[in-house]
Every structure is written in structure tokens, then in C-alpha cells.
Amino acid sequence: MPRNAQEIFRGGLNGMGLALLVFFLMNPFFMVASVSNSPFSRPNIGIRAGTSSNWCGYAAVSSVSSPADGFVDSVTGDWVIPTLTPNSSQSTYVATWVGIDGFSDGTVEQIGTEQDCVNGVQENYAWIEFYPGPSRMTGLTVNTGDSFTASVAYEGGNLFTLSITDLTTGQSYSRTRSANAQRQSAEWVVEAPSSTQGVLPLANFSEVNFTDAQFTDNNGTTYAIDGLGSGTYAAINLNDPNGGTANPSALTDSAYPNGPSSFSVAYGAPAGIHDVGITNVTPSKTIVGQGYPLDTVVTAADLGDYSETFNVTLYANTLPIASTNVTLSAGSSTNIALSGNTTGVAYGNYTISAYAWPVPDETNTTNNNCTGSSVIVSIPGDLNGDFKVNSLDVAIMGRAFGSTPNSANWNPNADIDDNGIVNMVDVAILARHYGQQV
């Protein structure tokens, strides 16, 4: 359960997703926490194929392909509050719960615990939620290593009773509320909670063991999770978009088919990522004579976890004008001097950009392209960009004559042949084209 108002909580699955709007109202039944600015989100969770962006565990239904309304009357399960391993670079989160609905419809009646690791410190909470309503804290003190049992039971007439007990301390909480629910599925879930940015980083948690996991159908018969056979339950693997994973073990049934079931959920550390990019593009000139080089400094970066060799290509609009391969170690960057070939490039104004070609297994390509300033390709000797070579350009050449990059009067546009000095060679080039215009 979230730490405080406008914080993180669980929600419905599939098309509805999680419309997370978390706040705590002061009332006689729920604890109120201080306000923070952590908001809500609607991650899309596809689990019919067995993989979710934030759920891991099992769901039981009348039929996975066509779940029936009114199928589930109650669900129960036990677990122990896991120990979290802090992440040095970010806060991480994980919730454990049992519930009815959410596998195939847009409601969830759920109760459980949340374990967050914030600033290297583990924080534990117990919460309930009648999605799409907000999550609320129960007021129970939750300690790492405590054993919990929880249940959700349909009472008839749209009423549900949600109960949770700390078997270690003897604390308990129960609440009966009304909900418009389909009662299509029962769930036992370890979850990566969400915020406005989407699914949050999954905490590195010690193995969670669900025991005494069972449900009753609308005839009052108690079943193991898989007690009704193939096609009536689904294992859900979690692939957090932040990189963490979690996978449920196979079911162990102590009294199949009437339960209870047991299974464990194990955390999988994020795999290393492959990510290269371009962070800066700086052309040396704003005007270049057609056929002469355009020197450009490009900053390439290895933003992933592996050493990479990749191609960097310099473009004038969509026309490639230079290319090179670069090898970088993980987390490093380098400045590359590329000499753009403007031979055959039509006169005009061009946007100069650089592109790092994706490496194998790279998933984030949003940073592979970077745009620099605009550059005019014109007649050699046109130093003011008006596509004419005349006395105005002669005056610019005169002011820059004899200069080098460290000179106060340095003008890179006047260094037509790009040799690092404005001299008689550049004057001769201007003279050959004097009087020309586009």
C-alpha cells in the first residue's frame, strides 16, 4: 500500500488497465497519511498470453478463453512479508495481494501488503482497494518477516468482505463494502505498483511463498487454484518495463482438486541493457562552400551496460555526408570529428544531424538521433549566405584574413578550404567565384 496521499496503488487488468488515483480521506475507518506528489497512471496489462507489465502469480476462472460472471465467491491466501534488497540508484516497489476480478474485467476487490524500498529503507503497509475506487491503508503495523493471511468474500447483494490478519502479531482488519463486480476470477498476485509515469521499478524481493491459496465457486465448493483443470487457471509472468522480472513457480496442491495450493514467486534482476546514442552535434561553420568539407563534432555515448561498436552517420537533412564506426565502453562517451562531404550537395539550407545506428538488442532508440544547427551550402566564397559572391564577401574575408581558430577575428566561414587559417588560398577560391550567384 502506498506511503501517503496521491501515492501508488494497484488496479484492474486488461482493457481497463489501472486508473490509479490514490488519496486518503479522513474518516473513522481508514488511516490518513501526509500528502505527497506521487500521482497515478493507467498501464496496459496484457496477461492473456501469460505476461503482464506488473502482475505475477495465478488467476483462476471458469474458462480462460471465456470467463463467466458470478463464478467466484471467495479467495484466500497466506504469505510472508519479503525482505527487499535496496537499489542504490532508485526507489523500488512491490505489492502482494489476493483478490476477485481484474483478470478479464475492469473491477478488482483486493487486499494485501506493499513493500517499498525508499532511500535504502524498507517500508511496509497493509491496504485494501475496491477498484476503480482508491486504495486505502488499513492501519495495521506491518513488519518484515511477518506472516499474513488475507481473504476476499462475496456476501451477496453486491457486498464484499475484505479481511487481513497478521498471524505474527495477531492484528487484524476487516471491511465490508458494496461493489459493482463481475466475480469472474480469483487472483494471487505479486505486483509492481504504478504512478503517473507508468509501472514503477520492481523491488528486488526475497522469494514470496503463497500458501493456503484456494477459492470457492458460486456453489460453495472450495478448489485449488488449478482444481477445475486445464483452461481454468493462468500463470502470469511479470516483465516490468523498467527491467525487473518475476515468475511464479509451478503449483503444489496439498489436497487437489479441493486445495489449498502453494506456489512461490521469484524476483529476476533486470538484464543489462544495450543503449547507444548521440548527445551533441556541433558543425564548425554556418556556411560552407559546395564541394568543401564541413567539419562537425559529434558526441557519441554508450548509455547501456555493455561495450558497444556502432556506426555514427552525419546527415545534411536526409543526405548522409559522413560516417564512422566507434567503440565505447559501458557508460562512456567521446567526441568524434566528422568531415562532411558536400560534393554534389545542392545549394540550400540544411539541418545537420547525427544518428547512432542501433546495436543488437537495443530497445530504446529515442536517443539515437541528435540534431545540430543549420548550415547553408552555397557557392564557394559566399561568406554571408546570400548565395552571391560579391564585395560583401570580400569585406568579410578581409576582416578575417590571417586569422586562426584562436584569433579574435576568426571566422570559420572564411576558412573556405578548412585548413585552419584564412589565407591567400581562401582569397583565391573567392576570386575564382567572384560575381557568381544562384
Residues 124 and 166 both lie in one domain: yes
- Is 15 among the domain residues? no
User: Which residues lie below 8 Å from residue 240, measured CB to CB, with a gap of 6+?
Assistant: 53, 54, 192, 199, 201, 202, 246, 270
| Domain membership flag for residue 203 | yes
Q: Is residue 341 part of a domain?
A: yes
d(CA 205, CA 203): 6
pTM (2 decimals)?
0.59
User: Is residue 82 in a domain?
Assistant: yes
pLDDT tens column, 353-398: 999 999 987 878 999 999 999 999 999 999 999 999 999 999 999 9
The amino acid occupying position 226 is D
123 with 254, same domain: the answer is yes
What pLDDT is stored for residue 243 in this prediction? 77
Q: Give the model's pLDDT for residue 221.
A: 97
CA-nearest of 243, 236, 276, 251 to 370 is: 276
Q: Is the same domain home to 403 and 368?
A: no
Instruction: For residue 349, give the CATH number of its domain.
Output: 2.60.40.10
pLDDT at residue 274 tops 60 = yes
- Cα–Cα nearest to 313, from 295, 325, 302: 325
| 7 backbone φψ class: left, alpha, beta (φ>0; ψ -120 to 50) | beta
Does residue 422 fall inside a structural domain? Answer: yes
Q: What is the CATH number of the domain that holds 235?
A: 2.60.120.700
Which is more confidently placed, 204 or 51?
Answer: 204
Return the ∠ at Cα 171 (arms to 166 and 175), rounded to 5°: 95
What gap in Å lies between CA 378 and CA 437, rounded to an integer?
9
Cβ–Cβ under 8 Å, residues 323 and 365:
no
Same domain, 242 and 284: no
The total number of residues shown for the chain amounts to 438
Phi, psi of 391 (to 5 degrees): -65, -30
Specify the CATH number for the domain of residue 385: 2.60.40.4130
Does residue 39 surpass a pLDDT of 70? no
Does some domain include residue 39? Answer: no
Q: Are 251 and 307 part of one and the same domain?
A: no
**Cβ(318)–Cβ(290) under 8 Å?**
no
Convert the pLDDT of each residue in 133-176 to its tens digit. Answer: 888 999 999 999 999 999 999 999 999 999 999 999 999 999 99
Indicate if 95 and 211 belong to the same structural domain: yes
The C-alpha cell that represents 15 in the structure block: 482493457
The 10s digit of each residue's pLDDT in 205-237 is 999 999 999 999 999 999 999 999 999 999 999
Give the pLDDT confidence of 278-325 residue by residue, as tens digits.
999 999 999 999 999 999 999 999 998 888 999 999 999 999 999 999
Query: Mean of the per-residue pLDDT values for the chain?
Result: 87
Pairing of strands 92-100, 185-191: antiparallel
Q: For residues 205 and 262, what is the distance between their CA atoms, to the nearest angstrom? A: 18
Considering the domain architecture, whether residues 56 and 119 belong to the same structural domain is answered as: yes
Q: Are 187 and 57 in contact (CB under 8 A)?
A: yes
- The residue among 176, 164, 139, 142 whose CA lies nearest residue 33 is 139
Last residue of a domain, one of 345, 360, 378: 378
Among 335, 361, 378, the domain boundary falls at 378
Q: What is the pLDDT of residue 19?
A: 27
pLDDT score of 239: 85
Of 209, 226, 241, the closest CA to residue 54 belongs to 241
Higher pLDDT, 338 or 9: 338
386 and 317 within one domain: no
On the question of pLDDT at 10 being above 60, the answer is no
**49 band by pLDDT with thresholds 50, 70 and 90:** low
For residue 172, what pLDDT is reported? 98
> If you average pLDDT over residues 44-56, what whole number do you get?
68
Query: Do residues 67 and 113 both lie within one domain?
Result: yes
The CA-based angle 176-193-242, given to 5 degrees, is: 165
Report pLDDT digits (tens) over 175-193: 999 999 999 999 999 999 8
Classify residue 33: in a domain, yes or no.
no
Cell triple for residue 241? 518495463
Examine the domain organization and report whether 418 and 328 are in the same domain: no
Say if residues 285 and 294 touch (Cβ distance below 8 Å): yes
Domain count, the chain: 3
Domain boundary among 361, 378, 395: 378
Task: Give yes or no for residue 412 having a pLDDT over 60.
Answer: yes
Q: Which residue has the cell 488519496?
A: 23
Task: Specify whether 355 is located in the same domain as 232.
Answer: no
Task: Verify that 63 and 190 share a domain, yes or no.
Answer: yes
Residue 171 is predicted with a pLDDT of: 97
Report yes or no on 22 lying in a domain: no
pLDDT digit string (tens) for 87-133? 877 899 999 999 999 888 888 999 999 999 999 999 999 999 998 88
Read off the pLDDT band of 196 (50, 70, 90): low
Domain that holds residue 387: 381-438
Cα 426 off chain centre by: 52
